[in-house]
Chain A
Amino acid sequence: MAGSAIHTIMLPVREDGMGGNVLAHAAVVALRFGSRVRIIHCHPRPDDLMPYGVVIPKILRKQIEDAARANADTTSDQLIAEFKTRAAELGLAEESHAAGKATARFIEYEGKQVDAVRHFGRLADLICVS
């Protein structure tokens, strides 16, 4: 039964600088099979950043939440720009409905990377990590 293919590749990324190398590997596979690469940017929910077991005043909680959102927005814009450039260099087009074409799409995910893998990974044919 030759001719099976990899249709979807999931690539969870965060701001650790490792994503570019993983994307390069994913692109080789995607170009071979005409796969769709889903780049999932994971950033923590503000609740996950709260110190555990410590009473936090309301004003400090709000500051942490605001800082987390601002940081997510900044890093997200930066990462999207970097990955779009890199994806284009590697020959991946913006995601379209054209079947059999290697494409990439950037998706924001608020939560832990392990939850992103649970959400998107189960319907992916391949999950690429560093």
Chain B
Amino acid sequence: MMCPHADSVPEDFCRHVTIGWNGSLQASRAAALAMPLIEAADKVTILTTGDTEHSATADEFRRYLELHTVDSEIREFKGRGNVGEKLLDESTAAGAGLLIMGAYHESYERETVFGGNSQTVVDKAAMPVVLVH
């Protein structure tokens, strides 16, 4: 979990959680490993662009969370390519205190040099983010 530089912990930290979902292996592992945080949250929002061809959709993921007795809502946004900043913006707009996402689908070296979702989030996040590789 990457904690932003701040004087204090936000009050809504861990209460409202957003999950970046694109159907990837990294996203699914992020959800599985961070399940205690997801289950403990008061509110869960799934962020997706809807672009999940040949992989589980956000609605399927919502039903998966229901098996863990987690109610969630889906928030779809437009975005292609590097959506890291969009994930942060949408999380803030949704009023979330924590973002959970898969990370470094591309290698760390490649993302550091050429940029990518994960590197953008690491560079620009002003909220706590759980990154799972």
Contact = CB atoms under 8 A, between A and B. Distances in A.
Interface of A: 1-6, 18, 21-22, 24-25, 28-29, 32-33, 125-130
Central interface residue in B7, B13, B37, B69, by most chain A CB within 10 Å: B37
Given A25-B128, A29-B14, A125-B36, A2 B69 contact: yes
Nearest to A128: B1
Contacts of B25: none
Given A24-B9, A25-B3, A127-B1, 7 more contacts: A2-B70, A6-B37, A18-B5, A21-B7, A25-B13, A128-B3, A129-B3
Interface residues of B, number: 21
Interface of B: 1-3, 5-9, 13-14, 35-37, 39-40, 67-70, 128, 130
Given A4-B35, A4-B39, A126-B1, A32 B14 contact: yes
12 contacts: A2-B69, A4-B39, A21-B7, A25-B13, A28-B14, A29-B37, A32-B40, A127-B1, A128-B1, A129-B3, A130-B3, A130-B5
A130 B2 contact: yes
Nearest to A5: B36
Nearest to B67: A1
B3 A22 contact: yes
Nearest to A6: B36
